[in-house]
Structure 1
Amino acid sequence: MTETPIRVMLVDDQELIRTGFRLVLLGEQGIEVVAEAADGGAALAQLERLEAAGSGCDIVLMDVRMPGMNGIEATAAVVERFPAVRVLVLTTFDLDEYATGAIQAGASGFLLKDARPTELVDAIRRVFSGDAAMAPSVTKRMLEQLRASGGLSAGSDAAGSAPTASGHGLAARGFAAAPTAPAVPAPELGVLTERELDVLRLIAEGKNNGEISAELFLSESTVKTHVGRVLAKLQLRDRVHAVIFAKQHGL
């Protein structure tokens, strides 16, 4: 039986960029472009159409800077109205000040628009499987902002204006800014077993399931189970938010 392909929507105000991504994905087995949109409002309308048709969408490749509803606002709305859909944010520059705001809004990862085709495909597959997909330079920038500010407060990006989805933003999961990181793991981590805490620490170091498996001498399927339990217990959307949570809670 043929496996259901990963359904992707392209959201960018530049048709040429959407065309480029579509051509890259066209030849990829197991990935299907099901819709396109030029701004956030149109993207939400397309998701509603797909849902009504019973086909749905798995991954949204979301540009940040668009006229009308921008990518941050659209990401927040997608997370709130279509919780099963994952958003992979596309940024033009690795110093894009909106990147942190997009994570606050619920994005599952970042990718630079000049990424190689193989990186785009890999990012889509990783986000679909529940893993993180973040350009290293963007991750570095985001963690620098975390260290400088003591954390990401809900409702503000680097410029202090990024919205978050009600019930899905970082504050809803205990992501309030703290002046300094605690010297020992925070009480919020008490719901985790010792092994789950070990897994969270390694996630925070940016390790994938294979690397965690090797370090803890566990099978990858066991690691995957532990990761799922960590996310469920801490009410985190994905590994990206697990990294932020860990950094803000002393790991």
Structure 2
Amino acid sequence: MPTDSQPAHPFRVFLVDDHRVVRSGVSAYLAMVEDIEVVGEASDGQQALDRMAVLEPADALPDVVLMDLVMPGMDGITATRQIKARWPAVEVVAVTSFVEESKVRGALEAGAAGYLLKDADADELAAAIRAAVSGRMHLDPAVARILADSTRASQQTGDSLTRRQHQVLLLIAEGASNRQIAETLVVSERTARTHVSDILARLGLASRTQAALWAVQEGLVPGPRPGR
């Protein structure tokens, strides 16, 4: 019987990277982690979508996809967006060599629940997977700094937010989706989506992740874990 610290089944992970040696290395890392199981792999975004479609009828979809961003064919940002649109419950963690702000923003805005560099060790990789499954975000420290600097540079203020928008902002910071926000506040998903867009516009931010970081900096919530 699983304990409070162990899931009922290992967290299922799917690897997407165009380099076989990288997939083999990550798979070897995760083989040493008791509560994580690699259930499939792909060499590009389209292959990942095709193979996950095969897993779906068997109720064997992964809990988390570890996604490279720069690949031939369908890139990782496009694949992340399509995975989140088709299988919202599947979390995606970007694992890449690049920390450019455009790639960070692109991955997170596509729905990634974390962003790690390929030199991350096994413990950090496992921590990012567990965080994604539990609805939290795990960012490499360098990535967290990029987002924090960008957020501070906007010099936004929350004085113009309504009481309802403050409620929505807190839910965003806790990692809630538009559907979860709608259910919590007993409004339509369309209304929740409108509130999120209005908050980003009023604060001068480009993404939900920046909104969450803003809430952390303002001391409204503990916020997502920015790495180890």
* Counterpart for residue 184 of structure 1: 159
- Residue correspondence of structure 1 range 107-146 to structure 2 within 5 A: 107-146=112-151
Q: What secondary structure sits across from 2:136 in the alignment?
A: coil
Could you give the per-residue CA deviations for residues 131-159 of structure 1, whole angstroms, max 9, x where no partner exists? 111011111112333444x4xxxxxxxxx
**Aligned-partner residue type, residue 31 of structure 1:** I
- Cα 1:185–1:125 change in 2 (3 A) is farther
The alignment status of 1:31 with 2:6, answered yes or no, reads no
- 5+ residue gaps, structure 1, are 151-179, 205-227
Partner of 2:76: 71
Task: Tell me what 1:245 maps to.
Answer: 211
Cα separation, partners in 2 of 1:94 and 1:190, compared to 1, 3 Å: closer
CA–CA distance in structure 2, aligned partners of residues 38 and 117 of structure 1:
21
- In 2, are the aligned partners of 1:200 and 1:246 still within 8 Å (CA)? yes
For 1:89-168, list aligned pairs within 5 A.
89-95=94-100, 97-148=102-153, 150=154
Letter aligned with residue 48 of structure 1:
A
- The SS at the match of 2:65 is strand
Task: Please state how far the C-alpha of 1:58 moved relative to its aligned partner.
Answer: 0.6
Contact residue 231 and residue 242 of structure 1 kept, 8 A: no
Distance 1:11 1:96, change over 3 A: farther
Counterpart of 1:26, as a letter, is A
Which blocks of at least 5 consecutive residues in structure 2 are unaligned?
A: 3-7, 186-191, 197-206, 219-228
Length-normalised TM-score, structure 1: 0.66
Given residue 99 of structure 2, which amino acid in structure 1 is its aligned partner?
D
Check conservation: 2:12, 2:39, Cα contact below 8 A: yes
Q: CA deviation at 1:56?
A: 1.4
Using the aligned pairs only, state the percent identity: 36
The answer as to whether partners of 1:40 and 1:70 remain within 8 angstroms in 2 is yes
Pairwise mapping of residues 8-47 of structure 1 onto structure 2 (< 5 A)?
8-47=13-52
Change (3 A) 1:144 1:31: same
CA RMSD of aligned residues (A): 3.2
Partners of 1:91 and 1:99 within 8 A in 2 = no
2:85 paired residue among 80, 85, 93: 80
Secondary structure, counterpart of 1:87 in structure 2: strand
The residue identity in structure 2 corresponding to 1:121 is A
2:69–2:94 contact (8 Å) kept in structure 1: yes
Shift in Å, 1:26: 1.1
Deviates more, 1:77-86 or 1:138-147: 138-147
What amino acid sits opposite 1:182 in the alignment? T
- Determine if contact 1:99/1:110 at 8 Å carries over to the other structure: yes
- Distance, in Å, in 2 between the alignment partners of 1:109 and 1:22 is 18
Q: Is the 8 A contact 1:200 1:230 kept in 2?
A: no
Report if the CA contact (8 A) 1:75-1:107 is conserved. yes
Q: Show CA shifts across 1:215-251 (max 9, x none).
A: xxxxxxxxxxxxx879955668xxxx76522456894
CA distance in 2, matches of 1:231, 1:120: 32
Letter of the 1:17 counterpart: V
3-state secondary structure, aligned to 1:72: helix
For these two proteins, the number of residue pairs brought into alignment is: 191
CA distance in 2, matches of 1:247, 1:24: 30
